[in-house]
Chain A
Amino acid sequence: MKNFSYLMPETIDEAISLLESHGEKAGYIAGGTDVMVKIKEGNLSPEYLVSLKHIPAMNDLSLDRENGELHIGALTTHRMLEKSSLIRLQYPILHDAVINIGSVQIRNVATIGGNLVNAVPSADGAIPLIAMDARVRFRGPRGEQTEDLIKFFLGPGRNILEHGEILTEIIIPPLLPRSGSAYIKFGRRAAMELPLLGVGVLLSLDEDMKHCTRARICLGVAAPTPLRALEAEKFLSGKVVDEKTLEEAGRIAGDESKVRDSIRGVAWYRKEMVNVQVKRMGMKCLERIK
């Protein structure tokens, strides 16, 4: 494998200045499950790899009691999220997604921040986070900034980070009362496969437990970047949520999707599956609402 120097800074500022001083010859590495593969395949050939693993508190999971926000450190591994009872019970849509990302071996080292930064259309981590209106915080030579996660992605493999910037944390605002959420990674097999489609739905109901106060329908692999089915969300908002309205929401979401033919599946089938899975995930949301 190509020769490189592996640097292990212990603060974010140190990491940023290392990257600045080495310029284009340097890149960040977190868990390394994507970066190492890219280096082995010759798609990446850094002279310096700046590891973010030794910066304390970058993998903290913390709930802000004052404003109800959940802060997920970007270096949190998928396995930490998978094992967290807080995530499983309060943010089940994220649990649904992380349990099927890669394998145990991958989840033990791969980070949620890395999953987002890679910005592949099939990134399972992004869809549930977008459905929960997550924001991301990042820091670099320009200082610290916060942006809505949906605006983080520019295209396959491209995000808004500039050279030297580090994704530091993901912020999930408090969920509305009476919310239910669910995600499905849909593919031919459950394990070790990229999804044919990812569908995340989050529904919040009024006190009558019938009318929808907020709907989020987020699709993965349905466009070059994660996609929110805004028309379908608008359709559900204020309506009584049941099998019939969810079926219609699924149809609208299918029309909004920009699915295309690929080696994993053809567009017409993907669109059909958007119809079906939006409805199914909506029904699962209703079961989970408390």
Chain B
Amino acid sequence: MARDISFKFNGSDLKIRVKDHWTLLYMIREELGLTGTKEGCGSGECGACTVLVNGEAVNACLYPAVEIKGKDLQTIEGLASEEGTLHPLQKSFVENGGIQCGFCSPGMIMSSKALLEENPNADEDEIKHALAGNICRCTGYLQIVESVKAASGEGAEEIKAVP
């Protein structure tokens, strides 16, 4: 079965015809053509497909596309400004070496965004707890945690202060 659904996609209203058996990940990558959201394991273990639904991190690979109806969906493509100015978290990942091969980075950054929006002063333990569902196979976890730390609390102010 197919049906028309409307939802907010990276800040704008979007209407699309989806099939019942599509996952949100399939819709984003194959139908909308936005490939920033990655498919890793496809079974909710690795977090590469993390997107935000109503501000909360979810695995797009297990989320039925029809369930996005009426909700607010954010993907990594929605973070930088139209002119290309990076989001503070993206900037922090670049500056602190939080990216190696880059495959896990969109998911890492979306999980971090959900965390910092709820808890702008997250400490190291809270960051690790929030990122437990995001796997990095280059194992650059130290730099990833550092990147999020630099973007949280007072660090966030420093990032914003950089011209």
Which A residues contact B (CB, under 8 angstroms)?
1-6, 8, 29, 32-33, 36-37, 40-41, 49, 51, 53, 79, 99, 102-106, 108-109, 190-192
Contacts of B47 in A (CB 8 A): 103, 105
CB atoms of B132 and A191 under 8 A apart: yes
Does B58 sit at the interface, judged by CB under 8 A? yes
15 extra interchain contacts, Cβ-Cβ under 8 A, other than A3-B20, A5-B20? A1-B22, A4-B20, A6-B21, A29-B64, A32-B63, A36-B44, A36-B63, A51-B67, A53-B67, A103-B133, A104-B129, A104-B130, A108-B53, A192-B132, A192-B135
Contacts of B61 in A (CB 8 A): 36
CB atoms of B42 and A40 under 8 A apart: yes
CB atoms of A192 and B45 under 8 A apart: yes
Question: Binding site of B, secondary structure by majority: helix, strand, loop or mixed?
Answer: mixed
Contacts of B114 in A (CB 8 A): 104
Is the interface on chain B under 10, 10 to 19, 20 to 34, or 35 or more residues?
20 to 34
CB atoms of B44 and A102 under 8 A apart: yes
Contacts of B72 in A (CB 8 A): none
CB atoms of B21 and A108 under 8 A apart: no
CA–CA, A155 and B15, complex, Å? 45
Nearest CB in chain B to that of A36: its residue: B62
CA–CA, A33 and B19, complex, Å? 19
CA–CA, A180 and B53, complex, Å? 36
Contacts of A37 in B (CB 8 A): 43-44, 62
Nearest CB in chain A to that of B134: its residue: A103
